[in-house]
Amino acid sequence: MSAYKNFTIETDADGIALVTWDMPNKSMNVFTVEVMDELDRIIDQVVADAAVKGVVITSGKSSFSGGADLSMIKASFDLLKDAQAADPATAVQKLFETTGRMTWLFRKLETCGKPWVSAINGTCMGGAFEMSLACHGRVASNAKSVKIALPEVKVGIFPGAGGTQRVPRLANAQDALQMMTTGSSLTGARAKAMNLVHQVVEPDQLIPAAKQMIKDGLKPVQPWDEKGFKAPGGGIWTPASAQL
C-alpha cells in the first residue's frame, strides 16, 4: 500500500479497507487541497485493487472532521484575482474548477463502483458530512461528542459540496432546509431519525458495524442514482412543498 501523509489504509481478511483520516500536527481533521489530492488517489487505489471489496472511512482523532479549511475559500478568491490578471478569458473557468473540486471528488467517490461507509466518531461538519453523504452507508457513534451539521450559514456561505442536494434527497425538504438555514447540530439519533445515517451504535462497535454493512452486501449505488427515485415527501411540486 502506498503511503499517504493524512491517511492510513489497512485491508482486512474480508477485503474491507479501513481508511483512517488523521492529519499530523492538527487537533482536528480539515479538508485541504492536499487532503483532497490524497482522497482522490485513495479512491483510484481501492477501485484498482481487486482484493478490496469495500471501504470504511473514519477518523483517528476524537472528532471526525470540522469540514473544509476556510483559508481554502480565501485562496480561491486570490486565485481568481491572479487568473484575471494573467488570462481573463479563462479566469472564471479556473475558479469554477477549483471551487467545484470537492463536489467532483465526492461524486467520483459515490460512483466508483465499490461501497463506502463513513464511520462517524465525533464532530462531523460541513464538507466532512458532505463526504459522508456521498458514502453509501453511514454509521454514527452514540457518544455525546457526536455533532452532525452543515454549519456553513454561520460563516455566511451555503454548503458547497453536495449537502444542498443530498440532504433533501434523504430527509424531507422542511428538515433539510431547517438544517441548512440554521446550521444547527444533530445528534446521531436525530440524524438517524432524519434518514441521514443508517445506524447509531456504541463507540466500540462503530468500525465493526460499518464493516458489517459491507459484508451484508451494501450496494455501491446511491438512492438518487436508482431508476424511479423519488424525493421524500413527493418533491417540490407538492402542495406542502409549495407552501414551504
Domain ranges of the chain: 7-69+102-243
From CA 220, how far away is CA 153, in angstroms rounded? 31
pLDDT in tens, 117-142: 999 999 999 999 999 999 999 999 99
- The confidence score (pLDDT) of residue 243 equals 84
- The confidence score (pLDDT) of residue 177 equals 92
Reduced to 3 states, what is the DSSP secondary structure of residue 31?
strand
pLDDT-derived band at 31 (thresholds 50, 70, 90) equals very high
pLDDT-derived band at 7 (thresholds 50, 70, 90) equals very high
| Residues forming beta bridges with residue 231, ordered by sequence position | none
Helical ranges in the chain per DSSP H: 33-48, 70-86, 88-99, 101-110, 127-134, 163-170, 173-182, 188-193, 206-215, 239-243
- How many of the other CB atoms lie within 10 Å of CB of 132? 27
Q: Which residue has the higher pLDDT, 65 or 237?
A: 65
pLDDT in tens, 204-224: 999 999 999 999 999 999 999
Reduced to 3 states, what is the DSSP secondary structure of residue 180?
helix
- The confidence score (pLDDT) of residue 2 equals 54
- The confidence score (pLDDT) of residue 1 equals 47
- The confidence score (pLDDT) of residue 139 equals 98
What does pLDDT average to over the chain? Answer: 93
pLDDT in tens, 152-194: 999 898 999 999 999 999 998 889 999 999 999 999 999 999 9
Looking at residues 74-85, what average pLDDT do you find? 81
Locate 44 and state its grid cell: 483510484
pLDDT-derived band at 3 (thresholds 50, 70, 90) equals confident
In terms of C-beta distances under 8 Å and separation of at least 24 residues, what long-range contacts does 44-49 make, across chains too? 45/1, 45/2, 45/9, 46/17, 46/112, 46/114, 47/112, 47/113, 47/114, 49/11, 49/17
CA 186, 189, 193, 199 torsion-angle sign: positive
* Amino acid, single-letter form, for residue 16: I
- Domain 7-69+102-243 listed as CATH 3.30.300.30: no
